[in-house]
Structure 1
Amino acid sequence: MAEYILEQLKSQPSWLLLPITLGFLSLLKFAFSILKWVYVNFIRPGKNLKKYGSWALITGPTDGIGKAFAFQLARKGFNLILVGRHPSKLEEVSESIKSKYGSTQIRNVVVDFSGDLNDGVSRIKEVIQGLDVGLLINNVGVSYPYARFLHEVDDKLLSDLIKVNVEGTTKVTQAVLPGMVERKRGAIVNIGSGAAIVIPSDPLYSVYAATKAYVDQFSRCLYVEYKKSGIDVQCQVPLYVATKMASIRRSSFFVPSTDGYARAALRWIGYEPRCTPYWPHSILWALAYSLPESFIDTWRLKFCLGIRKRGQLKDSKKE
């Protein structure tokens, strides 16, 4: 069969061999991409995260993805440093984890990421002093209450978006890194967003998307900076997850629960510098990349205008 195909190719005009070869190489590349996708999503084992250290620090652990990370890491035997702004909520999550995983050591650090960040980071440094912090989950973040044009964003919200999403992630990372560098091991996971990476634009959420684009580039640079120091840095890019921030209550095939996302996320730590851990999201990512950007821009604008209208109606009812 191979000889027959070879003879047929030899009989073709030389000018036709180039497009045939390019077509074959393109097909081979596509087949390889499919096989790689299957491997990393369904076959490749997760790394032994305990090799990074025995403690994990999680920001924003009292709800949503951060809370799910806390429970999943406790299940894997990590001790936890939980960093959030509400003492009562931190205590509630801590007690829930201890009731399920009694051997877990937990230290709570109260930090208002929209407040005095320098003071909060100082408290984090005090708590982690002498601890083998091997894993950092930068999950804390804020978004808009609902879609709105930039000129409608008030000063407080604008300040919070930049301070929490950009400055908070940066300073907590800077606080944890020295210990990892000294021990020559560690992993940092920054939670990004499909709003900054997957779709070409996110109108009416411009500042939020821009802050998450910062997180993505920040992560990639650190990945290169610290790879030889034994520190793995990764930006995880989820699409919609059933959280309060996303205003989605029920999970579905394309919208995982927070626990479903966290379980998938742990399998990816230590691998690619950017990833979307929940595999159905990668299908949506591929679909977005296959469509014209102008089409996605138009669709997204209409979608966000609908969110804005519903948000304004809720505000008017409150008044």
Structure 2
Amino acid sequence: MASACINHLAAQPLWILLVSSLGFLSFLNLSLSFLNWVYATFLRPPKNLREKYGSWALITGATDGIGKAFAYQLAQKGLNLILVSRNPSELKNVSNEIQVESPDSKIKTVVFDFSREMQSGIQLIEEAIKGVDVGVLINNVGITYPQARFFHEVDEQVWMDIVRVNLEGTSRVTKAVLPRMLGRKRGAIVNIGSGAAIVVPSHPLFTIYAATKAYIDQLSRSLYVEYKSCGIDVQCQVPLYVATKMTSKVASIERSSLFIPSAEGYAKAAIHKIGFEGRCTPYWPHSIQWFFCHLLPHSLLDSWRLSIGIRRRGNIIT
């Protein structure tokens, strides 16, 4: 019986055998990718961040949205916090709230407006991290357009602020914290990217924002390679829509759902991913959306994103 099957296969044209082999290999690759996704998403235990990296975490943009949710989650994991934001009263409120829920966590605050003079703010961060083992850095600070706009309509101050906050701010904070991680040969750097720059091929009417987030992705992937052998894990996390004040303002998202988590829901998933892949989509329904986006032609996604942007702008270009 076996010899008959072998003879039958040998009698097939070579191109049929090649196509069959390629089909089997593609199926095997897809199956392995799916099993790896299941393991990484639902079964893989998270790292003990305090033991692995150090007892302190620094979070930028820490008084609202994803940054604030990260701060709560990290405090619950037993880390001490350095919270960085531009509003001193909000910093005080968030610090007090976290202290009530996690009384054993030490908390420092740094008032830093990333859209203003950068060097003095970086000096404040450098002062705050002296003598403490900052093991986890969450580069969360980021801004976008106040509303959808074609590129020529965006005020220069608006897009310059986006570049300064999203691009320069993340780069400078990383540069300030990284040498101390290198000295201890351990650390985790998490840069918050965006599906606007990575999942879909374009993000019209939010062009500068998407471009800065593409920079964050490339920065993270390169640093991941540079410093992996030094005990430092650099990661770009790529969320899609999360129900925050920013998405409420620019995308009219008022509440969370299965595919649009709350900031707290996103942060819980994100904590579990720290220290693994160089790029990831922590919230599992987002990764499903990403998968199906990759099956669609870029031209279709481009048209879809442009139509959404125009609807949010309120009219068409003249």
Same fold (TM over 0.5): yes
> Over aligned residues, Cα RMSD in angstroms?
1.4
TM norm structure 1: 0.94
Q: For residue 110 of structure 2, what is the aligned residue in structure 1? A: 109
Q: Unaligned stretches of 5+ in structure 1?
A: 311-319
Superposition deviation, residue 238 in structure 1: 0.2
Q: 1:109-137: CA deviations, max 9, x gaps?
A: 00010011100000100110010100000
Q: For residue 92 of structure 2, what is the aligned residue in structure 1? A: 91
| Equivalent-residue separation in structure 2 for 1:94 and 1:142 (angstroms) | 22
Q: For residue 33 of structure 1, what is the aligned residue in structure 2? A: 33
Q: Unaligned stretches of 5+ in structure 2?
A: none
Q: Secondary structure at the match of 1:245?
A: helix
| Equivalent-residue separation in structure 2 for 1:126 and 1:199 (angstroms) | 39
| Equivalent-residue separation in structure 1 for 2:279 and 2:12 (angstroms) | 44
Q: Secondary structure at the match of 2:190?
A: strand
Superposition deviation, residue 16 in structure 1: 2.0
Amino acid paired to 1:73 = L
Amino acid paired to 1:157 = V
Superposition deviation, residue 200 in structure 1: 0.4
Q: For residue 12 of structure 1, what is the aligned residue in structure 2? A: 12
Change (3 A) 1:165 1:24: same
Where do residues 225-244 of structure 1 align in structure 2 (5 Å cutoff)? Answer: 225-244=226-245
Aligned residues: 310
| Equivalent-residue separation in structure 2 for 1:88 and 1:234 (angstroms) | 31
Q: Secondary structure at the match of 1:203?
A: coil
Q: For residue 267 of structure 1, what is the aligned residue in structure 2? A: 272
Change (3 A) 1:3 1:34: farther
Q: Secondary structure at the match of 2:173?
A: helix
Superposition deviation, residue 13 in structure 1: 3.4
Q: Secondary structure at the match of 2:136?
A: strand
Q: 1:49-91: CA deviations, max 9, x gaps?
A: 1120000000001000000000000000000000000000000
| Equivalent-residue separation in structure 1 for 2:195 and 2:23 (angstroms) | 32
Instruction: Say which is worse superposed, 177-186 or 151-160, in terms of deviation.
Output: 151-160
Q: Secondary structure at the match of 2:235?
A: strand
Superposition deviation, residue 27 in structure 1: 1.2
Q: Secondary structure at the match of 1:246?
A: helix
Instruction: Say which is worse superposed, 39-48 or 172-181, in terms of deviation.
Output: 39-48
Q: 1:156-189: CA deviations, max 9, x gaps?
A: 2111100000000000000001110000000000
Q: For residue 45 of structure 1, what is the aligned residue in structure 2? A: 45
Where do residues 88-167 of structure 1 align in structure 2 (5 Å cutoff)? Answer: 88-167=89-168
Q: 1:93-115: CA deviations, max 9, x gaps?
A: 00000011111100000001001
1:70 aligns with 2:71: yes
Q: For residue 180 of structure 1, what is the aligned residue in structure 2? A: 181
Superposition deviation, residue 34 in structure 1: 1.2
Amino acid paired to 2:221 = R
Q: Secondary structure at the match of 2:83?
A: strand
